[in-house]
Structure formats: C-alpha cells, structure tokens
A and B are shown apart, each in its own frame.
Chain A
Amino acid sequence: MIEHSWTDRRGFIRKAGLLSLVASTFTLLPRLALAAWNKAAFDSKTLADAYQAMGVDAPKESADVQLLASDIAENGAVVPLQAVSKIPNTTQISFLVEKNPNMLAALFDLGPDTVADVTARIKMGQTSNVIALVKADGKFYTATKEIKVTLGGCGG
C-alpha cells in the first residue's frame, strides 16, 4: 500500500516509525544536566532566594537578551519559551517565573562555541512575569515578559 498523506513532519515521523527513536534520544539529556544540578536554586520559593542560590548579583535588563513567548499562554500547563543571547561568552541561560511556587523553571549550562539560543516548555499556574536570565563573563543580564494565563472562552 502506498501512502500519499505525508503532509507534515509529525505524520512522516509517525509513519516512518521514528517517533520512539527520537523520544529515546531526548531522554539522555536530563542525565547530562544532572551533573550540575543546582538543587537550592530549583527549590527556591522567592526570586531573591533563587538569585542568591545562583550567585546572581545586580542583574541588568539587556536588549541583547531576547525572550520569545506568546503574550497569552495557549495552555498554562505547557508554555513554550525561547531565549536568545547576543552577549559574547554566554555560559548560562535560565528561565524564572515570578509567580510559580518554585521560581526557577529551567537552567541551561552552555559549553564554549554553543549558540546561545535555548527553548523550554514550562508550566505556569497564573499570569506572571517570566525572566530570561543570562550569565556571561560572570555577569548577569535579563529580559522580562509578562505571560498571561487565562481561563479562556468568550471569544468574539
């Protein structure tokens, strides 16, 4: 039987039986991250505590840090975020959500020659400021964006 409906990548991968292969490749990543797991930072309940645990001092808002995300989350349980840093020698990018029970949602340690462009899908309980925090040459820079989590319905 010939299938003619490989209209998108999802369909192609499913039909080619590759989805499980892709998934198993990704499961390796968290284990790599474990090496540098900053438990105190991830357990922090306030922004000040998280910053302290991460050694953040006087972070500066910077136009060279871009935080790309929807203005309103389509689903608070899965909010896609992207952060891009144009600051040379960026070694770390984190996402923090001011109104989540635990501030720090994700932290990426970047090796040398790594493009400072990361994405994550995080969970948000309510409308909040989200911070992309960049570490470069030991200094910290941020971009902040409010992401609204709404009940939905009632559209025109």
Chain B
Amino acid sequence: MNRREFLHVLSTASAAGLTLSLKPALAEQSAEAVYDAPAFGNVSLLHITDCHAQLRPIYFREPSVNLGIGGMSGRAPHLVGDAFLKQFGIAAKSPLAYAFTCLDFERYAPVYGKVGGFAHLATLVKRLRATRPGALLLDGGDTWQGSGAALWTNGQDMVDAAKLLGVDIMTLHWECTYGQDRVKEVAEKDFAGHIEIVAQNIKTVDFGDAVFKPYTLRGVNGVKVAVIGQAFPYTPIANPRYMVADWTFGIQEDNMQKTVDAARAEGAQVVVVLSHNGMDVDLKMASRVRGVDAILGGHTHDGMPAPAVVENPGGKTLVTNAGSNGKFLGVLDFEVKAGRVADFRYRLLPVFANLLPADAEMDALIARSRAPFESKLNEKLAISEGLLYRRGNFNGSFDQLILDALRAEKDAEIALSPGFRWGTTVLPGEAVTRENLLDQTAITYPYVTMTNMSGAQIKQILEDVCDNLFNADPYYQQGGDMVRVGGMAYSCDPTEAMGRRIGDMSLDGKPIDAGKNYKVAGWAPVAEAAREAGGEPIWELVERHLRARKTIAPPKLDLPTLKNVDGNRGMIL
C-alpha cells in the first residue's frame, strides 16, 4: 500500500466513524501528502465557516476546555487534547495535531507556522476545483466580522474577498450586527449574480414573510443539489436585537422539515443544510429532521476531522463542523447514483500558510483593502511575555488581559467579558498590535459599561449565561462560552440545573452578599439603552492599559472551581 492509498483508506475509515491509529510521522509529510485529496463521486461541496474576517494568516489555539455535559459528555465535538487525537486517529506532535488541538501549542506554533489567510485558502480552493468540476463553495457565515479592517469598512473587505474566492452560497450570523439594511444592501447589490444568501429561519416580524430564499437549487454535473440556509437562530438574543429589529429568527424545526420536503418535491437529489446552529444543535436537528444528506455546520468553531453520522426516521444525516478563523476547508464529496446519495468522502483540510503559496490575485486584493489601515493595524501596543488566546469554556489569557484592563481602568471590583469564541492568538515574546487587539474586540457595539450590581444580580447573570452553554437540551444552547469573570471567585457545576450551577461567590476571600451592590465593569451590551449611553469602545480602554505597561506578564487566569466534571474528556487541566 503506497502513501496515497493509505491516506485514502484513512479518510474512508474516519468518514465511516472508525478510528485508525496513525503510526507514520505525519510531521515529515510534504505539502503534497497533507493536501492529497483524490476526487470522489460526482457532487462536491467545499465549505468554509466562521472565518471572522481573518484575511491574513493567523495563529489560533484550539480549546483545552470544551465540556460536554450529560449525553454529550466525551463525545465529539466535546473532546480536547489527547482524547481528540485518539478519537480521530491523529498522530501526536504532527501538523494535524497542531491544527486540531491545543497540545504543546507554544512549541509547535513556530514550527508549523500560521494558518488560514484568504490568499492561501484561495490556492487550496483552486486546487480542489481543478479536480472537482462544478464544486460549490459554501460559506456558513461569521465572515464579515472579527477584524479592525472589516469593522472600518462595514464588512466590505470581506464581501469583496468572498466574491473573489468564488463563494456560491452563504448564510448569516455576525453579518447581522452591521444592521439589517447593510445585509440587504450587500445581498441585493454586491452579491447579485455572485453569492446567494439563504436562510429558512429568518422571517419578517410583522407578517412572517421570508427575508431570504430558504434554499437554492443548483445543478452539479447533472445532479440537482438543494442548499438550505440555517442562520444563527439566536441572533436577536446573543447580539443586539435593534440591529435586526424587523427580523425574527429561531430554530424553526417544523419549517426546516417543510423546506426539505419542498426541495425534494422540486427534484433535489441531494439536500444539504448550510448551518450556523452550532454543532450540538445540528446533532439534535439531524436526529429529528428527515431527508437531509448532510448538515455543514459552524458557529461553535469545532474543527471536526470526520463527520458524525446521525440516524433519524428518514435515514442517516452527516453532521460536520469546519472550525474557525480560516484554519480549515471542508471537502464533502458525494457519489450520487439513481437519484440518491450512495456514498461519500469527507475531509477537513487545515490551511497551513507555509505549505500553500499565496494566490497572487487574492493577495493583491487583500493588500489593497488593507492599505488605508496598514500602519494603524500594525502599531505595537505592548510586548506579551505569555501566550495570549481566547478560546475555552471559562476563560482565555487574552480575555484575562481585557478583564484586568477593565478593572484597573474603571476602578471596578468585578469585571465581566463576553465568552466569544472568535479572536486570534499571540505567541509569547511577540508584540501585541492594534490588529491583535481588534481581533478580540471589533464589534459594532463595543461600549464599556459600569454598573452597580447586587450580588443576586451577578449570580443571575452567571446562571443565565451558564445555562446557554450547558443546558441539557441543545435547542436551548446559544453556542458561546461562559462569561469571563475577573476579580470574583466562584464555583460552577455544569451538570446542575439552571439556578443551581453557580456557587461559592467571593471577592477578596469574603462571600458575595446577595443584597449588597458591587462595582461591575463590562462591555458589549446588547440593550439599546446602552448604545444611547455611548460608553468608550473597549479597544480604546485596553489600548491605554497596554501602552501604560509596555510589557505584559503572562496573565493569571481567573477560573471557577469546577464540580462534577472529573474525568470529562473535554478538559485538560
């Protein structure tokens, strides 16, 4: 068996849910081997999601804490570190281990280098399209937000890059935080004739009319393929409702079934859902909705090397998740015979910037779009002695830096920072640039808030957010991480019910008093009143803090004491 055949067997085996232990040192593999992806079947779908406006290659550390609770305990996507490698048969210390896990991140980041970047992604897309004529490129959303340049151009840099990349179809989440009018403007002007936005679950508030087409039917090598859009169901809750005042979202499972049925009735031989539900929600939906061949998922930023195969009353549905920040390209090949899917292959290819040359045309576009901001973005604010990252259920070192800045600059007893899952990584010894800071903070509602909150109110907030993360029913999960808490100690039992997860709240060793008021600093308020109050943008506050210090010691993470999660395979301590 040669290497090519071996890798083929590997991909088939992992696609079928089996695991293989990979003995050869993948670290020695050439780019050719990493990207050896022989074509299969007659319908191919390429999938990107949650790139969060990262046009240039970046570092991104995957989480060391991504707990699954109840039925999800120890199951993908709730696996980290060695448990992840074992589940998917990936060799330790290999480029794939570096791409998919946080293991020895500081050691391997300088070795294997940056990931993602649209110029490198474009090269990979072109290679795959060369062997897969007619392939559709699907974008799961969270494309226009996540960088300073995207914020300053109202998402235009990403709109132009997505068009040049050749995206065919997309769905939405953070795009909506530029406001419904901006989204419609792009859909009707820039995207007309290029990219179709689909969403079966966005309707008008007044009459329940569809805002976008629920699905689009495309011919691929003579096969009719329906792509149904599922936008992030909780956009008006997790983000400001005033941004999408005339639109209503929700999971809308019944309407999803009707949409699948309508697509099949129209002659679709392949039906896929381009989803921004988050993986746990997708897994539940796949177990209940009939007639979907695959759900290509995002939102929860879970880079999954192999799909989950979910049984439902109509048959089987594949569920994939393609990670975040431009790190990965999903490749789903279907063999369609006699009007139905007979077989498939799936790969999630990491985009190693060192292994894929930059596409010249895309590189030039990115350079042009960055030019007005280049010097502003590259400005160095401080040197970081430690690794700065965000992703993880409870805290990340960049979030700790934000919490420390909030408490210091606002003279607050407690600081709260949202559990976003986007945000790139800064290596130890590197300068923190304004671009790095905006990678963590660039949103359209960046206002810093100062509030006197009672101990009871603080507990309610923590309980509320914790339930969005750990509710036993995925349909009640919103897909973010826990709110980061600076200054205040607490304990968390993710296995408990809402209202009973948070305990042992204390400040400087003294128990928090439910009736007493505390000075709490935060940012990213979703209420319209907070916009009118107009607090300072968070990046200005953190920049002031960084400049005054010049050198930042590795932040000491404020983490809750976790209960009842010993042995959980979604956690490395």
For the complex, give the distance between the alpha carbons of A68 and B206 in Å: 17
Binary CB contact string for chain B from 401 to 429 against chain A (1 if under 8 A, 0 otherwise): 00000000000000000111110000000
Contact between chains at B480 and A72 (CB < 8 Å): no
Smallest beta-carbon distance A118→chain B, Å:
15
Tell whether A153 pairs with B418 under 8 Å between CB atoms, given A70-B250, A74-B249, A74-B250.
yes
Return chain B residues, CB-CB under 8 Å to A113: none
Contact between chains at B237 and A152 (CB < 8 Å): yes
Counting CB contacts under 8 A, is B248 at the interface? yes
For the complex, give the distance between the alpha carbons of A75 and B418 in Å: 20
| Chain B residue, CB-CB nearest to A75 | B241
For the complex, give the distance between the alpha carbons of A155 and B482 in Å: 10
Contact between chains at A155 and B237 (CB < 8 Å): yes
Counting CB contacts under 8 A, is B278 at the interface? yes
In chain B, positions 520-537 with a C-beta closer than 8 Å to chain A are 524-526
| Chain B residue, CB-CB nearest to A148 | B476
Contact between chains at A154 and B251 (CB < 8 Å): no
Counting CB contacts under 8 A, is B175 at the interface? no
For the complex, give the distance between the alpha carbons of A148 and B234 in Å: 12
In chain B, positions 212-252 with a C-beta closer than 8 Å to chain A are 232, 234-239, 241, 246, 248-251
Binary CB contact string for chain A from 24 to 44 against chain B (1 if under 8 A, 0 otherwise): 000000000000000000000
Contact between chains at A10 and B246 (CB < 8 Å): yes
Smallest beta-carbon distance A123→chain B, Å:
16
Pick the most buried of B237, B468, B480, B483: most chain A CB atoms within 10 A of its CB.
B237
| Chain B residue, CB-CB nearest to A155 | B238
In chain A, positions 37-89 with a C-beta closer than 8 Å to chain B are 68, 70-75, 80
Counting CB contacts under 8 A, is B9 at the interface? no
Contact between chains at B480 and A155 (CB < 8 Å): yes
Smallest beta-carbon distance B477→chain A, Å:
9
Counting CB contacts under 8 A, is B209 at the interface? yes
Return chain B residues, CB-CB under 8 Å to A154: 238, 418-420, 465, 468, 478, 480-481, 483, 524
Counting CB contacts under 8 A, is A21 at the interface? no
Return chain A residues, CB-CB under 8 Å to B239: 155
Smallest beta-carbon distance A13→chain B, Å:
9
For the complex, give the distance between the alpha carbons of A127 and B558 in Å: 30
Return chain A residues, CB-CB under 8 Å to B249: 74
For the complex, give the distance between the alpha carbons of A70 and B235 in Å: 13
Contact between chains at A151 and B464 (CB < 8 Å): yes
Return chain A residues, CB-CB under 8 Å to B421: 156
Contact between chains at B250 and A156 (CB < 8 Å): no
- Pick the contact of B476: A9, A68, A72 (CB < 8 A): A72
| Chain A residue, CB-CB nearest to B298 | A156
| Chain B residue, CB-CB nearest to A66 | B254
Return chain A residues, CB-CB under 8 Å to B238: 152-156
Tell whether A150 pairs with B236 under 8 Å between CB atoms, given A10-B206, A155-B478, A156-B481.
no
Counting CB contacts under 8 A, is B300 at the interface? yes
- The interface of chain A, by Cβ under 8 A from chain B, is 8-10, 68, 70-75, 80, 127, 148, 150-156
Q: A8-B204, A153-B465 are in contact. List 10 more A-B contacts (CB 8 A).
A: A10-B246, A71-B475, A72-B478, A151-B465, A152-B241, A153-B418, A154-B481, A155-B239, A155-B478, A156-B422
List 18 A-B residue pairs with CB atoms under 8 Å apart, sorted by A's residue number: A8-B209, A9-B209, A10-B206, A71-B473, A72-B234, A74-B249, A148-B476, A151-B464, A152-B241, A153-B524, A155-B232, A155-B238, A155-B418, A155-B420, A155-B479, A156-B421, A156-B479, A156-B480
